[in-house]
Amino acid sequence: MALFGRRAAESTPLDGVDVVLADLDGVVYAGAGALPHAVESLRRAAEGRTLGYITNNASRTDASVAAHLSELGLPTAAHEIVTSPQAAMRLLADRVAPGSTIMVVGGEGLVVEVEKAGFVVTRSADDAPAAVVQGFAPEVGWAQLAEAAYALALPEDEGGIPWIATNTDWTIPQARGIAPGNGTLVSAVHTAIGRLATVAGKPEVPIFEEAVARFAAQHPLFLGDRLDTDILGANRAGIPSALVLTGIDRPKHVLAAPAGSQPTFILGDLRELHEPYPDVRLEGDQATVGGASVRIEGPDVRIIAEGRPIDLLRAGAAAIWATGRAIYGFRVPEQLYADPFHRP
């Protein structure tokens, strides 16, 4: 990963990148409002590069998301938004006959994509749907979840119908704080019926493959705020990634990231896309990033030099990740997982 590679002194995360793929919730905005520095940083990133967006949020259409971004100061067209409902339609097309009746648990964003794909939408298990597709929407409640449970009562290997979830994010950033995401709603149905859904969005690969193909990306960089969906998915798809600390995951999560969920870059906010990214120097059990150094001494993680808060986190992550050991095997000083970074 680039985090551990030798890099030119003045290299930034954007050097050599032809397409920037950004998550939305927790990266560009939280609720209706833009996050600090996000709009101006992305506008600058788009100079000489393609800028596209990948979102697991299934509650809105690609056109409405594009309109929202445009209102925030990021002129965007609908085709520049890759959504988990679009990825779900790819999976659905392989599992049911064209024109089938599909039960939708979710909002307008999912309904529109199901209809665009040529399927008939129903909200009732009584209409004998050929599959259930479930995505997040604020209005989803017990009645919709119950209909899904009725439709999915028979396991698929016993003749039951397919169940596709757009995504399983446990949480979603909002202006007032962190709220339950689609994963909690999918889990409610799972608890009722004992079945697992097939997932279309991050961290699964199809949504990334759709984005790479749509934008003809040769050297993309993905920006996300979650290790378990954004970064894990990018790694599975072979795409370099930057975790930005403006959304869900915090420094303590970064330090504990397992191998598959470790980002290429760690950013305090999107301004750092345009700043030189310091080389990570590993010498034995010690990692140095900029003016920060962290050393592993048996079960203890020692701060040798503090440096900037973001560099201290980068050094701590590099030192811990290089051991291949789980975070619970260490005594970590509180300063290392302090959290001075912005979050909603």
Ramachandran class of 106: left when φ > 0, alpha when ψ lies in -120 to 50, beta otherwise:
left
Q: Please name the residue that has the structure tokens 């790694």.
A: 235
SS3 326: coil
Q: Please name the residue that has the structure tokens 């309109």.
A: 67
Tell me the DSSP string of 21-38: EE--BTTTEETTEEPTTH
Question: Residues for the chain: how many in total?
Answer: 344
Q: How far apart are CA 313 and CA 251, in angstroms?
A: 7
Residue type, 13: P
Contact 318, 289 (CB under 8 A): yes
- Say if strands 292-297 and 286-289 run parallel, antiparallel, or are unpaired: antiparallel
Q: Is 25 a catalytic residue?
A: yes
Q: How far apart are CA 36 and CA 322, in angstroms?
A: 32
Contact 58, 166 (CB under 8 A): yes
Catalytic residue among 15, 18, 23, 279: 23
Q: How many CB atoms neighbour CB 123 within 10 A?
A: 15
Please write down the HEC assignment for all residues of 98-161. Answer: CCCEEEEECCHHHHHHHHHCCCEEECCHHHCCCEEEECCCCCCCHHHHHHHHHHCCCCHHHCCC
Paired strand residues for 282: 287
Q: How far apart are CA 109 and CA 131, in angstroms?
A: 17
Q: Is 225 a catalytic residue?
A: no
Question: Which residues are annotated as catalytic?
Answer: 23, 25
